[in-house]
A = this chain, B = another copy of it.
Amino acid sequence: MQFAGSHILSIAQFQRHDVERVFQVADRMRPYAHRERVTKVLDGAILGAMFFEPSTRTRVSFGAAFNLLGGEVRETTGFEMSAIAKGESLYDTARVLSGYSDVIAMRHPQEGSVAEFAAASRVPVLNGGDGSNEHPTQALLDLYTIRQELAARGRGIDQLRIAMVGDLRYGRTVHSLCKLLCLFDGVQVMLVSPLELRMPEDIVEQMRAAGLQVEESDALEASIRHVDIVYSTRIQEERFASRQEADLYRGRFRLNQAIYTEHCEPNTVIMHPLPRDSRATARELDEDLNDNPNLAIFRQTDNGMLVRMALFALVLDVVEQVDRHARDVNWYTARRF
């Protein structure tokens, strides 16, 4: 994959070596994201963060990642009612907005809209989520976190054993992660969900075709005994016909410290795409896990910064210049990562 000038629309664009390239660059971003060093490599560049659907944290994460490289951010939040209501095509919107920035990060509620926009854009577009379709930076940050957590245990992604738990039918993030895992060897995947919320059959097939060992189950405790990672998900209430229907499944699989201690191998990593549902009726990851050092959920969001910085640096072709425009941080920073 040629990164410079490319759109990043789907994880289907990535081969294993592309993923590894992103991760190598992400590693090099750590001193900047962790506020030890400041780089101004993109001083003068502009990111257009075009969020036609609200998403505070994804929007802020993209923007902050660009700021960390020294660039400026212009942004929109919420549907651009005016122009769309006046009958403007996505083609026109893309032609206009792409004249205002050097790169665009875009979220839009319609499937396929980001790719359609990108086709008309005059600058690279990074997909920040298009409906239930793709959210490639989330999948990459998840896999990057898996790699990082396993590396701390002297392991690589190959031979990974992972349990995915919860709403596997509607969870966009687990779908994308499964597809990325197909690029690696010897991976074992345990899918744990209510029968009605099973992983879509085509994704299971795709994994098996790629050589992954896949098992399905509806029992939590038995399924998390021999894995490196438990990847828990939230019931996507907004995807169900009614709140009542969602309530049938909410709280079905709850991991807490007691279950973890009794059933998991030592140092099993706990992940979640966030937000986790902390209401009494849900609690897929109990708050008593907050002090468990293997709870990696906030390292995931921190890693989102590294991955997004890496993609910006690759797409704008400044990877080799980052360190040249750097200096030490001169303000107070606590140890906090």
What residues of chain A have their CB less than 8 Å away from a CB belonging to chain B? 4-5, 35, 38-46, 48, 54-57, 60-61, 63-64, 67-68, 70, 72-76, 80-83, 86-89, 91-93, 95-102, 122-123, 234, 237-238, 274-279, 282, 287, 290, 298, 301-302, 305, 315-318, 321, 329-334, 336-337
Contacts and interface: CB of A to CB of B under 8 A. Distances in A.
Contact of A97 (B55, B60, B63, B73): B60
A197 B275 CA distance: 43
Given A73-B74, A318-B332, 11 more contacts: A46-B68, A48-B64, A56-B80, A57-B83, A60-B97, A64-B100, A72-B73, A86-B237, A89-B278, A91-B278, A92-B275
A283 to B, nearest CB: 9
Given A48-B60, A74-B60, A54 B82 contact: yes
Contacts of A332: 4-5, 315-318
Contacts of A331: 41-42, 45, 102, 316-318
A70 B93 CA distance: 25
A192 B277 CA distance: 49
A101 B318 CA distance: 23
Contact of A330 (B56, B92, B97, B321): B321
A43 B337 CA distance: 21
B317 A88 contact: no
Nearest to A55: B82
Contacts of A99: 298, 301-302, 305, 337
A88 B277 CA distance: 5
Contacts of A39: 44
Nearest to A37: B44
Nearest to A335: B122
Question: Across chains A and B, which 4 residue pairs bring their CB atoms closest together, nearest first?
Answer: A38-B44, A87-B277, A88-B275, A122-B336
Nearest to A277: B87
B70 A44 contact: yes
Contacts of A277: 86-88
